[in-house]
Chains A and B, each alone.
Chain A
Amino acid sequence: MHYFWVPFLPMFGILVPLLTNKLNRSACTLATALLPALALCLIFLDLPAVFAGESFSKSVEWIPQLGLSLSFRLDGLAALFSILILGIGLLVILYARYYLSEKDNMGRFYSYLIMFMTAMLGIVMSNNMLQLWFFWELTSISSFLLIGFWSHNSDARKGARMALTITGAGGLALLAGIILLGQVVGSYELDVVLNSAELVKQSPYYIAILSLFLIGAFTKSAQFPFHFWLPHAMSAPTPVSAYLHSATMVKAGIFLLARFYPVLAGTETWFVVVSLTGLFTLLLGAYTALFKHDLKGLLAYSTISHLGLIVLLLGLNTELAAIAAIFHIMNHAVFKASLFMAAGIIDHESGSRDMRKINGLWKYMPITATLAMVASASMAGVPLLNGFLSKEMFFAETLEQSILGAMSWLIPVLATIAGAFSVAYSLRFIHDVFFNGEPKGLTKTPHEPPRYMRVPVEILVAICLLVGIFPNYTIGPLLQSTSLVVLNHPLPEYSLSIWHGFNLPLLMSALAIIGGVAIYLNRKHLFKFAGMFPDVDAKLVFEDCIQACVKWSQKITTKMETGSLQRYAFCLCFFALLLIAPPLFDLETTKGSLAGTPINGAVIVAAILIVAGSLATIIWSHYRLIALLMLSLVGLVVSITFAYFSAPDLALTQLSVEIVTVILLLLALYFFPQQTPTSKSRPSHFVRDLAVASFIGCIIGAICFALMTHPLDSISAYFLENAKIGGGGTNVVNVILVDFRGFDTFGEITVLGIAALGIHKLIARMRLSMRTKDYAGRLWAKEKYPVLLSVVSQSLLPLFLLISAYIFMRGHNLPGGGFIAGLITSIALIQQYLAHGVDWMAKRVSVSYHYMIAIGLTIAGLTGLGSWAFGRPFLTSWFEYVSLPWIGKFELASALVFDIGVYFTVIGATLLILASLGKLTTTERLTVGER
């Protein structure tokens, strides 16, 4: 179908004005109008099918993983709005060509305008709710750009910001509503959602969904109490006002109500909330409009009032009311766009919009005056014009409802009063501007606008007349197909004719017109009355609110973000506690069904050592050396624990890591104060930290106990069964490391290498003072490298290397392997550093540890890649038993080569860390520092 391209054409069109900006103005205008015009043609091509009551939808996958698709639909409602958006959009483009001055950047203006057009088309044609929301927010952003187009003007900036804040906040509420609705229905596609009315209305979330949708719609459509942004948006260039406040922006909220009418409407809540909001907005807008001296201000409040009327109609619980609402959407768009344009012409050609200055313009611009008068007559609801028809339907429907029970008669009365005010302000627009004496204090003499600036107004006014006189021929089919979509079931009988006989609605119309004239004639008294009330500037109130919000959030921020990492660490632990504790309450007992292992003396001793060691670490934490020694005690017992509970590999690893860690921390301690300054922390912090730490400890202990005593369904049986057959080794832990989970290990040695390189970089530019004395004021020992230590460690070196080779070789079948062998070699080398110093070692060991890490990682990586040569996945292992004379039968495995990689990386990383740190204490340090 053609319609799928409709939103895309203007989307490409955003670039057109920017590219053609350099050409003359008319060429730029024509080029800009081309793509929207094409889109309008596409809509017209599909229109016959739409009139036949069909609705199409088509979707293309966009991000299928997230369930997002690019999905558009065309039905009566979408077609109606698309025609309004594109049609009035084209007229606005033509109008703006003459409205904008030479100083304005026309390309930028058109670009924003087309972007806005795209966003609106996206809203009305979206078949996916999330996509609809995306375009909804796009209208907020592009309207911000349009309203603030004259960014040198402070009012424009403030108005734009206010519009963005209000409609943007409403948009967020709408998003929440859409997500809720999507969750309830189980789909975000409108096809599905629109046919799930029962499901939604019975859902417990219905009220929440409805409220969120209404907030979205009411903010966008400027309903009370969110109406105040609209008058301030009038600081936009008039073409923008004509577009945003007639056919598009403010109608987006109405569209939303109409689109989701089948799903959300039909309940008591809907009727009461929607109709009363609409009614109040209708009255408030109509009343306020009369007192506005600014031409556009009057129109702005009249727009608010008419939007209220449409919302009220959507809220009345009759089907005909919904039809009347749709009818009024079209009519209002047409006459209001023409009125804004007329106001723009008056402003443009007379230099003022103040109705106290511009009087008697009839003499200067008779054609424009005629057009404006017809349009405002339509706004007032004078017979033979389109506004009259929908107003008649509106009056008829107010009589048919029963929302307020016995007080329901109030609604037609209030509607008539609002109608009277509407007549009064329309009258003021006509009489004050075109008659009522002579213009006062104008800077230029008013005159007729350029020929083509008036064309859009002429077209719109012609439509007003045509629809008003021949409603059935002009608007009938479109109205019918739209109503079909909104109501989602066969339509009731309704009549579009001008004359329905002498009936109550006609009487109400007559009363409204007479009342309106009466109000206008007595306007002096009314103005005096209105003048008694203080003039509340919504902008100031709004700014105050924003300032208060900023102040409030700043207060919170400064309270929360003190910049103290110590405090953050506490908060982290505290919230971790809050999150992990609740699930534990679901576990009925800590102790599971597994039988425990009997306790024995060795375990008790170990436990006492661990507890005492940990406690001592805390108690002497101010004496850092002692704390470190206590810590190493705990580490030692941990490695014994591993050995005791059948984990020899772990015991060996823990033991060697323990040695390396303690050496590292001792070296580091050389550069730190030897003692922590005592009791700097407040007692309350001490208690607080102790409480949190204890709670977390209790929870960890409880989980640990529960884990050990509850039966566990482990995947380990697989590894035990396949270690020998698949991996060719009997030490299952090592086979897991180098074979089954080799890829993990590869990742881990990479991390190790990166950490080592990071440390090397951190050390490279470090400047720390070296101490000459310890904390008690004692000098260091004079003998830097004790002879005994050097001799012993040097003679032990070959033995160390032999052991590490042995541990490495047997690793596949017995406890050992690359990690442990690497650590043992590292310890042997570190011992040489300790015994002989960095300088001595630097002369003898010419290997760069950076390269060693690289070589290790390369070996491990190439082993993995090697399996590709045989058409296997990365890191598939291979092994074979080989017999050689003298040596006997032994195993050759690719995993062994991988383990060599691990071995080298571990040595490289460990020594890079320790040797870099060690260098800080020597003459090597300077060269490192200056590098």
Chain B
Amino acid sequence: MELVYAICVGFMSACGIFLMLRGHTFTLVIGLTLLSYAVNLFLFASGGLTIGAPAVLNSSENYADPLPQALVLTAIVIGFAMTAFAVILAMRGRADLGSDHVDGIEPFDPLAEEKS
């Protein structure tokens, strides 16, 4: 199970980073969100995978590690704040610069030049 979990985390990170490297802000925000899912899962896994043993006292024999959970809980909320900030910043960038490309202008496209 750990292997499958790790593959999923790695795959999500790769997809997230790839999307973050694209040129348009909205894609970037989507990549950021995907990456933050992966990071949260990653942090969560540092306490090991436990099934059916939430860290609520007297509910089971042994407990899942509560510390990563507490860290990830705040990370999720902060992650939301960050995503929100990024997307609003992107909107502001589009409003002020007139382009939703991260560089402020659409890059020079050699193919379009050839067509015309």
State the A residues within 8 Å of B (CB): 563-566, 569-570, 573, 594, 596-600, 603-604, 607, 610-611, 614-615, 617-618, 621, 624, 627-628, 631, 634-635, 638, 641-642, 644-650, 653-654, 657, 660-661, 664-665, 668-669, 671-673, 676-677, 679-682, 689-690, 692-694, 696-705, 707-709, 712, 714-716, 719-720, 723-724, 730-733, 736-737, 741, 744-745, 748, 751-752, 755-756, 758-759, 762-763, 766-768, 813-815, 819, 823, 906, 909-910, 913, 917
**Inter-chain contact A673/B100, CB cutoff 8 Å:** yes
**Inter-chain contact A700/B10, CB cutoff 8 Å:** yes
**Inter-chain contact B54/A647, CB cutoff 8 Å:** yes
Residues of A within 8 A of B83 (CB): 661, 664-665
Instruction: Pick the contact of B81: A665, A690, A909 (CB < 8 A).
Output: A909
Docked complex: B34-52 residues within 8 A CB-CB of A: 34, 37-38, 40-42, 44-52
Instruction: Pick the contact of A716: B53, B66, B92 (CB < 8 A).
Output: B66
**Inter-chain contact A766/B10, CB cutoff 8 Å:** no
Instruction: Pick the contact of A628: B30, B72, B89, B111 (CB < 8 A).
Output: B30
A916 — nearest CB in chain B belongs to which residue?
B88
CB distance from A137 to the nearest CB of B (A): 41
**Inter-chain contact A680/B15, CB cutoff 8 Å:** no
Q: A566-B102, A731-B56 are in contact. Are A752 and B47 (CB under 8 A)?
A: no
Instruction: Pick the contact of A676: B26, B48, B50, B103 (CB < 8 A).
Output: B26
Q: Mark B2-14, 1 if CB is under 8 A from A, else 0.
A: 1111111111111
Instruction: Pick the contact of A610: B8, B52, B74, B90 (CB < 8 A).
Output: B8
Q: Tell me if B109 counts as interface (CB < 8 A to partner A).
A: yes
Q: A708-B49, A737-B74 are in contact. Are A680 and B18 (CB under 8 A)?
A: no
**Inter-chain contact A720/B57, CB cutoff 8 Å:** yes
Q: A607-B8, A714-B47 are in contact. Are A624 and B26 (CB under 8 A)?
A: yes
The CA-CA distance from A733 to B30 in the complex, in Å, is 29
For chains A and B in complex, what number of residue pairs have CB atoms within 8 angstroms? 317
**Inter-chain contact A708/B6, CB cutoff 8 Å:** yes
The CA-CA distance from A762 to B93 in the complex, in Å, is 10
Residues of A within 8 A of B33 (CB): 631, 635, 661, 665
Residues of A within 8 A of B45 (CB): 704, 707-708
CB distance from B56 to the nearest CB of A (A): 5
**Inter-chain contact B103/A705, CB cutoff 8 Å:** no
**Inter-chain contact B21/A565, CB cutoff 8 Å:** no
Other A-B pairs beyond A681-B22, A681-B23, 19, CB < 8 Å = A607-B8, A631-B34, A634-B34, A646-B55, A647-B44, A654-B40, A668-B91, A671-B94, A681-B107, A689-B21, A693-B15, A693-B18, A705-B5, A708-B6, A732-B63, A736-B67, A736-B70, A813-B56, A910-B80
CB distance from A907 to the nearest CB of B (A): 12
Instruction: Pick the contact of B9: A628, A648, A700, A723 (CB < 8 A).
Output: A700
**Inter-chain contact B95/A766, CB cutoff 8 Å:** yes
Q: A617-B30, A673-B100 are in contact. Are A763 and B56 (CB under 8 A)?
A: no
In the assembled complex, 15 residue pairs joining A and B whose CB atoms fall closer than 8 Å, in A order, are A565-B103, A610-B8, A617-B34, A624-B30, A646-B63, A664-B83, A672-B94, A679-B111, A692-B17, A700-B42, A701-B13, A733-B55, A741-B70, A751-B81, A756-B81
Instruction: Pick the contact of A751: B27, B37, B78, B87 (CB < 8 A).
Output: B78
Q: A614-B11, A644-B51, A733-B55 are in contact. Are A693 and B17 (CB under 8 A)?
A: yes
Instruction: Pick the contact of A704: B20, B42, B47, B92 (CB < 8 A).
Output: B42
The CA-CA distance from A647 to B49 in the complex, in Å, is 10
**Inter-chain contact B10/A690, CB cutoff 8 Å:** no
Residues of A within 8 A of B90 (CB): 668, 672
Residues of B within 8 A of A700 (CB): 9-10, 13, 38, 42
**Inter-chain contact B63/A648, CB cutoff 8 Å:** no
The 6 closest A-B pairs by CB, nearest first: A701-B10, A697-B14, A705-B6, A693-B18, A755-B81, A730-B57
Q: A610-B11, A661-B33 are in contact. Are A689 and B18 (CB under 8 A)?
A: yes
Residues of A within 8 A of B21 (CB): 566, 569-570, 573, 689, 692-693
Residues of B within 8 A of A565 (CB): 102-103
A565 — nearest CB in chain B belongs to which residue?
B102
Residues of B within 8 A of A604 (CB): 4
Instruction: Pick the contact of A668: B40, B44, B57, B88 (CB < 8 A).
Output: B88
